[in-house]
Amino acid sequence: MSALADFQNSIYLQGLGDVRPSLPTDLTRLEGLAEGVLSAQAFGYVAGSAGSEATARANRDAFDRWRIVPRFLRDVAHRDLSVDVLGTAMPSPILLAPIGVQSIFHPDGELATARAAGAEGVTMVLSTASSHSIEEVAEANGDGAPRWYQLYWPKDRDLAVSFLERAKAAGYTALVVTLDTFTLAWRPRDLDQAYLPFLRGIGVANYFSDPVFQKAVGGPVTDANRDAALLHWVANFGNPSLTWDDLVFLRDHWDGPIALKGVQHPDDARRAVDAGMDGVIVSNHGGRQVDGAVASLDALPGVVDAVRDQATVLFDSGIRTGSDVAKALALGAKAVLLARPYAYGLALGGQAGVQHVLRCIQAELELTMALSGVTRPDELSPEILVRA
Ligand SMILES: Cc1cc2nc3c(=O)[nH]c(=O)nc-3n(C[C@H](O)[C@H](O)[C@H](O)COP(=O)(O)O)c2cc1C
Ligand SMILES: CCCCCCC(=O)C(=O)O
């Protein structure tokens, strides 16, 4: 048995003293509870997706179409979930996905998430659009805690370089470059409420604190130039004219591993390998960008097949349970990024809420694996799955 499954026992033992977990252990229940504590705008922002939200639903349906076939009598007494992903040692194949503007969910925002990740030894991927700066989040995360940085590649190349240098100096070891959100998609829940956190000054901490950004807006951001600074942010946030050739620039300015997030097509995965990228993250941004896009899990096997072992394949979009993690790993992902469930944990319980989510999903993964005859993530293969 491992520390992860011990978590399950510790809950049962608390029951002897009539203590119950303060949050549900079925993580699919968190969204409904979070709706009760968040403003309608914040809840719409996190729970909403693009258009009719068909892709968000497809992400979940794709998991339901695969079923695990348990196997027994395989000596699963000793289980080890640890993995090495792009040079980072991890206790399990689960990272915290980049989620921007976290202070709309909890006053401590990314600081609470970073403390939770640091306490659990789980790698946090910090968004460029965070509500606390690169440096503040690193401090909350703690010395030696594993952390990666996610880049929204701005039009201003000097600003991009400044972000990369700040991230490197603050101990972020790998770079995630998100391809699918150079502009916001059509998101009806936000449009109907005329709500965008950035225009209210949330999610711009890294920009407003950056010397290159400040120079571009004529000095530090104050009440006097705040509106102009926000307009500059809007104009510079993303760059739709980027091409594969531009990746050379990133390679030249980041000496650690780089993973491209948002890859869905096998040819794009091959191009990532050709461009010297170390990893790809199969993701459709949780259905928040292209409504009607292929379910992320359905795109995974084609990408795995395309890159073979020339790059590390990670996965997100739709992960809600430990069994979902097992399915994504069985279909070839090296690790997964957990997203909305931890945002709901943050909303419901701050740092403790995020830790609860991490402990539950890791314990559930370990138990699912053991009860399926598997002791290590790399033993998961399509052989444990059938089509429903
Ligand atoms: C509220 C919210 C904010 C997000 N912000 C970012 C971000 O700043 N950068 C990024 O690469 N992805 C961002 N994402 C996308 C997640 O990293 C992830 O790809 C997606 O949420 C996965 O779908 P799931 O939450 O349904 O599993 C965001 C997602 C949500 C829900
Ligand atoms: C202007 C686009 C900002 C998006 C940042 C957050 C995000 O990725 C999301 O899905 O929301």
Is the CB of 33 inside a 6 Å radius of any atom of ligand 2? no
Nearest ligand to the C-alpha atom of residue 289? 2
Tens digit of pLDDT for each residue in 24-79? 999 999 999 999 999 999 999 999 999 999 999 999 999 999 999 999 999 999 99
Instruction: List Cβ neighbours of 23 (8 Å cut-off, separation of 6 or more).
Output: 30, 33, 345, 348, 349, 353, 356, 357
Mean pLDDT by 10 residues, the chain (388 residues): 79 90 96 98 98 98 98 98 98 98 98 98 98 98 98 98 98 98 98 96 96 97 95 96 98 98 98 98 99 98 97 99 98 99 98 98 98 98 97
- List, in sequence order, every beta strand (DSSP E) within 171-316: 174-178, 258-263, 279-282, 312-315
What ligand 2 atom has the least distance to the C-alpha of 288?
Answer: 10
Q: Whose CA is nearest to atom 13 of ligand 1?
A: 99
Q: Evaluate the CA torsion angle 66, 69, 75, 77 in order and state its sign.
A: positive
Q: Whose CA is nearest to atom 2 of ligand 2?
A: 184
Residue found under tokens 């027994």: 72
Q: Whose CA is nearest to atom 11 of ligand 2?
A: 100
3-state helix, strand, coil in the chain (%, to 5): 50, 10, 40
Question: Is 256 strand, coil or helix?
Answer: coil
Is the CB of 338 inside a 6 Å radius of any atom of ligand 1? no
d(CA 58, CA 84): 30
Is the CB of 99 inside a 6 Å radius of any atom of ligand 2? no
d(CA 367, CA 5): 7
Is the CB of 283 inside a 6 Å radius of any atom of ligand 1? yes
Helix axes 322-330, 296-307, angle to 10 degrees: 30
Instruction: List Cβ neighbours of 138 (8 Å cut-off, separation of 6 or more).
Output: 114, 147, 170, 171, 172
Nearest ligand to the C-alpha atom of residue 234? 2
d(CA 154, CA 268): 21
d(CA 370, CA 229): 53
pLDDT at position 5, please?
Answer: 73
pLDDT at position 182, please?
Answer: 97
- Asked if residue 353 lies in contact with residue 375, where contact means CB atoms within 8 angstroms, the answer is no
Q: What are phi and psi of 94, to 5 degrees?
A: -130, 125
Is the CB of 129 inside a 6 Å radius of any atom of ligand 2? yes
pLDDT at position 19, please?
Answer: 87
254 Cα to the center of ligand 2, angstroms: 23
- Asked if residue 94 lies in contact with residue 325, where contact means CB atoms within 8 angstroms, the answer is yes
Is the CB of 181 inside a 6 Å radius of any atom of ligand 2? yes
- List, in sequence order, every beta strand (DSSP E) within the chain: 66-68, 83-85, 88-90, 94-96, 124-126, 147-151, 174-178, 258-263, 279-282, 312-315, 335-338, 385-387
What ligand 1 atom has the least distance to the C-alpha of 338?
Answer: 27
Tens digit of pLDDT for each residue in 162-193? 999 999 999 999 999 999 999 999 999 999 99
pLDDT at position 6, please?
Answer: 86
What ligand 1 atom has the least distance to the C-alpha of 203?
Answer: 8
180 Cα to the center of ligand 2, angstroms: 10
219 Cα to the center of ligand 2, angstroms: 26
- Annotated binding-site residue? 178: yes
d(CA 279, CA 269): 9
Supply the DSSP string of 310-329, one letter for each residue. SSEEEE-SS--SHHHHHHHH
The structural domains of the chain, ordered by start, are: 3-387 (3.20.20.70)
Q: Whose CA is nearest to atom 8 of ligand 1?
A: 100
d(CA 160, CA 155): 8
pLDDT at position 4, please?
Answer: 75
Q: Which pairing describes strands 83-85 and 279-282: parallel, antiparallel, or unpaired?
A: unpaired
- Asked if residue 123 lies in contact with residue 91, where contact means CB atoms within 8 angstroms, the answer is no
pTM of the model: 0.98
105 Cα to the center of ligand 1, angstroms: 14
Nearest ligand to the C-alpha atom of residue 196? 2
Nearest ligand to the C-alpha atom of residue 63? 1
Helix axes 340-370, 109-120, angle to 10 degrees: 20
pLDDT at position 1, please?
Answer: 52
- Annotated binding-site residue? 150: yes
198 Cα to the center of ligand 2, angstroms: 9
100 Cα to the center of ligand 2, angstroms: 7
Active site residues: 285
Instruction: List Cβ neighbours of 111 (8 Å cut-off, separation of 6 or more).
Output: 132, 136, 137, 140
